[in-house]
Amino acid sequence: MKECLILPPWSAGSLGDEYMVAGAAWLFSQKGYRVFVAEMEYPGSSSTFEGTVGPLLRDRPVHFIPLAQHRHCKDTPFYQVVAIGADTLDGLHSTEFSIETLRGLADAANAGKRVDIVSASYSNESKPEVDQVVRSTPALKWVARERCSFQRLKAIGAANVLLGCDFSIFLSRLVGQRIARAAVRQPLVSLAISPSVERIYGADLETALTRAITQLSVLAPTLRVNVVAHDYRSFGARSNPQVAKDISCSLAKKLSPIPVAFDGRRLTAREAWDVARRSTLVISGFMHFALMSSYAGTPSYFLSYSDKGIGQREMNPLFSCGDLQQLESFVGAYNSRLRLRRLEAWVGRARLKARVEKACGF
C-alpha cells in the first residue's frame, strides 16, 4: 500500500483548515493510500487534528503523528507528500518558518519524492528567497487557489502549476445530492458576523443587512434569520460572540415579525456544515464559512474583496464577494439566478474534482 504524508496549513482549530485536511485524507485513502497527518503544535490552540478531523475519518486508514518526527520531508518513507495551504508562500507564519518549510519540501522533491502544494497562494509582495526556491525546483507541483497566484507562480518560473480552488481538495468528499435537496429547504438566511466586518462598516452593516433581508422576505414570506457568532473554534481573538449577539438583537427589533435567532456556539466542523446545509442563503464575514456554504449547495456572499475571495468568485458559481453596496445587487439577482447558479455549481464542482485528482497524480 502506498503511503502519503499530509502537512496541514498550521494547526487544528481553523474550520477551513480542518475541512481541507479531512478532505485530503479522505481523497487519498479512497485512492488506496495509507495516510499520515502531521500534527503541529500552535501557541494558544489546544485542538488537534486527531480530535477534530479524526471522527470524520473513523473508517479510513488515517493516522496522526507529531510533525517533529518528519520535519525533514526528504527523509520520510512516504511515497507522496502533500502540503496544504498558503502558509509556505504568503507568510502566515514567520518568514523563517515559511522558508524553512518550503526548502524542506523542495529537498524532498529533489530527492525523488512526489511533492504537491495544494491551495497555494502567492499574491503579496515579492519574497526573493521564496522566488529562488520555486524557480530552482521544477519537481515541485503546485495547485494555485486564485488566478493572481497562478500567474505569479508562472511568472517566477514554477514548472508545474495548475489553477485550482481553495478548498477544492475536499470536493470529492462533499460532492453529492445536497444541491438537489436545497430547493425544498425552508427559507433561512444565515449571517456569520465577524468582528472585523463590524469594525469596517459600523452601523452601515446593520442597515445593509436589514434592507437585504427585507427584500428577500418579499420573495419568501416564511423567511427566518440565523445569526452565527463563530467560524473558528480555537482562535478566540478572531471571534467575538458579543458583537454578533448585539447585531442579532438589533436586527430582531428592526425586522420584526421576521424571526431572528442567535447561535453563539463555537461550531465544530460538522456543526458548521449542518448550519450551511440548512440555509438557503449565507452572508458571511468569515471566508471559510462562506466557502463551505457554497460547497453545501447554498449561495453565499463573502463581505470582502480579498484576493482569496476574488479567486473563489471566478471559479465558484455559488460564491460571491464584495462590499455592502454589491450585497444589495447580489440579493436583487438572487432569486432569478438561483436555479442557474446551482446547475453551474454542479458542473463546476465535477470539473474541479477532476482537476484536483489530476494534480495529485490520480
What's the rounded Cα separation, in Å, for the pair 148 and 134?
Answer: 16
Grid coordinates 446593520 are at which residue? 206
CB 37 within 8 A of CB 3: no
H helix runs in the chain, sequence order: 15-30, 49-52, 87-90, 95-110, 128-136, 147-155, 171-174, 178-182, 195-201, 203-219, 241-255, 269-278, 287-295, 307-315, 324-359
Q: What is the mean pLDDT of residues 207-213?
A: 92
What's the rounded Cα separation, in Å, for the pair 64 and 84?
Answer: 16
Average pLDDT in the chain: 77
Residues 6+ apart with CB under 8 A from 296: 174, 178, 273, 276, 277
Confidence band of 177 (pLDDT split at 50, 70, 90): very low
Rg (C-alpha) for the chain, rounded Å, is 20
User: Which amino acid is present at 190?
Assistant: S
Supply the pLDDT for residue 207: 93
* Strand, helix or coil for residue 120: strand
For the chain, which domains are there? 3-174 (3.40.50.10160), 178-337 (3.40.50.2000)
What's the rounded Cα separation, in Å, for the pair 350 and 57?
Answer: 22
**Cα–Cα separations (whole angstroms), residue 89 to 27, 291, 307:** 24, 21, 14
Grid coordinates 522558508 are at which residue? 99
What's the rounded Cα separation, in Å, for the pair 20 and 338?
Answer: 27
- φ, ψ for residue 228 (rounded to 5)? -105, 135
Confidence band of 240 (pLDDT split at 50, 70, 90): low
CB 125 within 8 A of CB 148: no
Supply the pLDDT for residue 72: 64
The cell for 156 is 517566477
Supply the pLDDT for residue 70: 66
pLDDT digits (tens, 9 = 90+) for 298-348: 888 999 867 677 777 777 778 888 888 888 888 877 665 554 555 555 556
Question: Could you tell me the strand order of the sheet in which 114-120 lies?
Answer: 62-66, 34-39, 3-7, 80-84, 114-120, 141-144, 161-163
What's the rounded Cα separation, in Å, for the pair 14 and 239?
Answer: 12
The cell for 135 is 524557480
- Beta strand 224-228 with 188-192 is parallel
Supply the pLDDT for residue 171: 54
- φ, ψ for residue 115 (rounded to 5)? -125, 120
The cell for 247 is 447585531
- φ, ψ for residue 184 (rounded to 5)? -100, 10
The cell for 17 is 483548515
Supply the pLDDT for residue 71: 63
Is the pLDDT assigned to residue 83 strictly greater than 50? yes
Supply the pLDDT for residue 341: 54
Give the whole-number percent of the chain exceeding pLDDT 90: 14
CB 153 within 8 A of CB 144: yes
Residues 6+ apart with CB under 8 A from 13: 42, 45, 47, 52, 232, 233, 234, 235
H-helix or E-strand containing 262? strand 260-263
